[in-house]
Amino acid sequence: MSLTNQQIARKLRDHATEIARGGGNLYRVRAFRSAAMAVLAMPEEVADVVATGGVRELERVPGIGKSLADTIARYFVGRVVSGDAAGVLAGVA
């Protein structure tokens, strides 16, 4: 079972909260929260985007840059991934 956009957004918001509680960089907190909103606004599931266009396709989504695209892809590592996404995500860990 793949993560839904809602689950990914929750993980991003949780990560933002951890950064904020730890006194981390406010820019990073905002970046994670912005990425969460971007994921929720996507018309298709992140898992489908990664499966068809690779992790780099996430970078094309406004609010998700290279670092956050890699972070989101790591959320899938350890889960059963089928098709092209397995090959794309294999090098992310």
Q: How confident is the model at residue 5 (pLDDT cuts 50, 70, 90)?
A: very high
How far from the centroid of its chain's Cα atoms is residue 15's Cα? Answer: 11
| Domains located in the chain, CATH noted | 5-90 (1.10.150.110)
Q: What is the dihedral of CA 50, 54, 56, 61, to 10 degrees?
A: -30
Model confidence over 11-42: pLDDT tens digits?
999 999 999 999 999 999 999 999 999 999 99
Q: What is the pTM of this model?
A: 0.79
Contact 78, 14 (CB under 8 A): no
What percentage of the chain has pLDDT greater than the value 70? Answer: 81
